[in-house]
Structure 1
Amino acid sequence: MQIRPMQEGDLHSAERTSAATFLEAEELNRRIVEPEVQPRSAEASALWIDRMRLFLTVDPGGCWVAEDNVGEIAGFAISQNRDRIWYLATYGVLPGRQGQGVGKGLMNAALAHAGDRQGIFISSVHPGATRRYRLAGFSLHSQVRMTGTVDRSVLAAVTGLDEGGTGDFDWMDRLDTDLRGAGHGPDHAFMLATLRLIVSRSDAGRGYAYVDDRGHVALLAAAHEETARALLWEALASSREEAFVPSITTVNEWAMDVGLAAGLDIVQEGYVAVRDMEAPGPYLASGHFL
């Protein structure tokens, strides 16, 4: 098995490996009350490839694959350095290749790229993976997600929010630096192209949230909890069918309170893993962009 830098030509094969890896993980972790896990859609596959192409373009040194002797991509680790922070965007090894040192080799390559930067990523509950993360010096903060149908009779009246744009990126990066040690930089332009951006430009409480076309929260950051609550209520008001609020750690219980008030359910889900930093808040991390 060869651990080597990812190349443009690996993207489609790596996506197929990712889809198979995470499908099995979701099936194993599915609760009886939850619907059957569905394979990744063609649209989601294309978005995954586009996101990883961005990472490969911006910071190729953080992108690695494991290739076997017949040319199959058996695993991948895609990470990025943004100023003083390193984040792991995605990482996985095919189920049949786990327990053979492939994941360790990939993680070592990604962590070598990180250097002495602070680190953050979203972790599954896989025992082998969490052991590896802890041994690499990461603190694992339990997180929950909230899902369900919003009770629209309790939607809060929200004021002071606007639609965001590229002109907001500078102060958004400063806010991110205060909250997690570094701005998102080039990630913002990509997210803005595919997601709705809601902002609070008030000097008393700046903040922003990226929301997808279903009203699912993709990333939220705010200077104060009051602003964070307003942003989350606005996202929930735009939700269609089932709402989704990710990555709620104990420092972000304000999001749990909003979700409960809106009639959502709490579901335990993995960890936010951090190294040499605290779990950020008020902040709801993105799966790929952290």
Structure 2
Amino acid sequence: MILRPVRDDEQDAGVVREIAAAAFGVPRSLDGGQGTDDAERTARQHGRTRHLARSDPGGCWIMEDETAGPVGAVLSARREGTWSLSLLAVVPGAQGKEVGKALLARALHYGRACLRGIACAPGDPVAARTLRRAGLTLHPTLRLSGRVDTGGLDPLDGAVHQGNARHRDLMDSVDRRTRGGAHGPDHDELLCHNALFVVDDLAGSGYCYARAGHVEALAATSRRLATRLLTAALVATPPGEAARVTHVSAESQWALDVAVAAGLDIANDGFLCLRGLRPPELSIPSRTLP
């Protein structure tokens, strides 16, 4: 087996995407080709991989077998003392051969000086065991999904603005309060693929990334502002599209109240894996850039 860094190019981004597709499965268009949704998903996946390969080359690795080719990949980052795991994937044929263990060990070594750690894990028993053995605390999370009943939602209790790159300092400040460290350059990547909602008034501040009903990330300094942001994101869901909010911690009961009012389904949704952090009440982490 050969362990090598992920390069910041389209070829390696494609390799990582194929490994993840083999490990987790990726929806394909009905005609077997690449539809609009597939193209957008590919752009997001390639963008995330290349972004982390640039910002954190020491935390991004590919495992290759001399005969089978690429069999596993890991993407991780360090942000102001907070280590995050964005991807750990092993193709089915290499699972059970300690490929994932070796990749995770390299990513953990990269974050060895960080006091805090965070990862969003699927409800897969192997992934759960792997991350628990690595010393992370596993917290079950919830998924909110379905068609939005806007008539059941309360009117917004204040202004929500369209955000842009100029709000990065505000968002970094909120990050430091909710996850211990700013996302920094991750905001540039998230802005490439999502609409940004921002609140900033005397009550505090917060932000939310969302696209076509999918809430990618949310953080705020109070329950009132978090509720306002999630409500605004759900109201903005395009007609006919289903909303989706993943990895919501049980501590975020305000989010469940919004989901109930909007008529969304509430279901179990994997784990939020933490080290040196308490389960967040006022944030919903990004699954791809936690």
Same fold, TM exceeding 0.5? yes
Establish whether residue 106 from structure 1 lines up as the match of residue 119 from structure 2. Answer: no
* Deviating more after overlay: 237-246 vs 141-150: 237-246
Q: Which residue of 1 aligns with 2:112?
A: 115
Pairwise CA RMSD:
1.7
Structure 2 gaps of 5+ residues are: 28-33
Which among 142, 145, 151 is matched to residue 144 of structure 1? Answer: 142
Displacement after TM superposition at 1:140 (Å): 0.4
Displacement after TM superposition at 1:42 (Å): 3.1
Which among 40, 46, 49 is matched to residue 49 of structure 1? Answer: 46
Q: Which residue of 2 aligns with 1:63?
A: 60
Establish whether residue 76 from structure 1 lines up as the match of residue 78 from structure 2. Answer: no
Asked whether the equivalents of residues 230 and 258 of structure 2 are also in contact (C-alpha less than 8 Å), the reply is yes
Structure 1 gaps of 5+ residues are: 27-38
Q: Which residue of 2 aligns with 1:166?
A: 165
Equivalent residues in 2 for 1:1-290 (5 A)? 1-7=1-7, 8=9, 9-23=11-25, 41-70=38-67, 72-117=69-114, 118-158=116-156, 159-212=158-211, 214-240=212-238, 241-290=241-290
4+ long deviations beyond 3 Å = none
Structure 1: distance between partners of 2:48 and 2:169: 22
Total equivalences in the alignment: 277
Asked whether the equivalents of residues 142 and 250 of structure 2 are also in contact (C-alpha less than 8 Å), the reply is no
Asked whether the equivalents of residues 13 and 72 of structure 1 are also in contact (C-alpha less than 8 Å), the reply is no
Q: Which residue of 1 aligns with 2:30?
A: none
Letter of the aligned partner of 1:221 in structure 2? A
Asked whether the equivalents of residues 259 and 265 of structure 2 are also in contact (C-alpha less than 8 Å), the reply is yes
Asked whether the equivalents of residues 199 and 207 of structure 2 are also in contact (C-alpha less than 8 Å), the reply is yes
Displacement after TM superposition at 1:173 (Å): 0.4
Alignment deviations for residues 70-108 of structure 1 (CA, whole Å, 9 cap, x no partner): 361100010001111010011110011100010000000
Asked whether the equivalents of residues 147 and 245 of structure 1 are also in contact (C-alpha less than 8 Å), the reply is yes
TM-score, scaled to structure 2: 0.91
Residue aligned with 2:204, SS? coil
TM-score, scaled to structure 1: 0.91
Residue aligned with 2:266, SS? strand
Displacement after TM superposition at 1:193 (Å): 2.2
Structure 2: distance between partners of 1:79 and 1:15: 15
Identity of aligned residues (%): 36
Residue aligned with 2:47, SS? helix
Residue aligned with 2:49, SS? helix
Structure 2: distance between partners of 1:137 and 1:126: 17
Letter of the aligned partner of 1:156 in structure 2? D
Asked whether the equivalents of residues 176 and 182 of structure 1 are also in contact (C-alpha less than 8 Å), the reply is yes
Residue aligned with 2:270, SS? strand
